[in-house]
Amino acid sequence: MKTLLLVDDSPTVRHIERVILGRMGFEIIEACDGDEALQALREHPQIDVVLLDWNMPVMNGIDCLRRLRQEFAERELKVLMCTTEHELDRIIEAMEAGADEYIMKPFTADIVEGKLTGAGVL
């Protein structure tokens, strides 16, 4: 079973993601900002995939992405940015920072499944 870290400051979004991804068979860990996400990655070396919101308090998703690619460079982590930021510049910025895929909100279970497949997770 793969372990997936959900990172989003919205409890509602985390709930929806937990339902969708739980049905796909992932073990789920949650974090509500980038700083908590980095802590979770330190505490849970079994995490395979990160679904990362962009806009969050404390530490946003793009800063978190850059830090986790440095700190966990030796780990084979797949990172999917999941956000309302849909401008091309932002997508390029995320891909250059090390995102494997980019999911636009609002999303459906089919979209999430397709992006996980595209990232080589499924």
Q: What is the smallest separation between the CB atom of 45 and Mg ion, expressed in angstroms?
A: 26
Other residues' Cβ atoms within 10 Å of the Cβ of residue 23: 10
Nearer to Mg ion by Cβ, of 85 and 101: the residue is: 85
Q: What is the smallest separation between the CB atom of 57 and Mg ion, expressed in angstroms?
A: 8
Contacts of 12 (CB under 8 A, 6+ apart): none
Radius of gyration of the chain (CA): 13
- Joined together, the tokens standing for residue 53 give 């919101």
Binding residues among 21-60 for Mg ion as defined by CB under 5 A = 53, 55-56
Nearer to Mg ion by Cβ, of 55 and 117: the residue is: 55
85 touching Mg ion, by CB under 5 A:
no
Binding test (CB under 5 A) with Mg ion, winner from 6, 9, 36, 121: 9
Which residue type, as a one-letter code, is found at position 1?
A: M
Binding site for Mg ion (CB under 5 A): 9, 53, 55-56
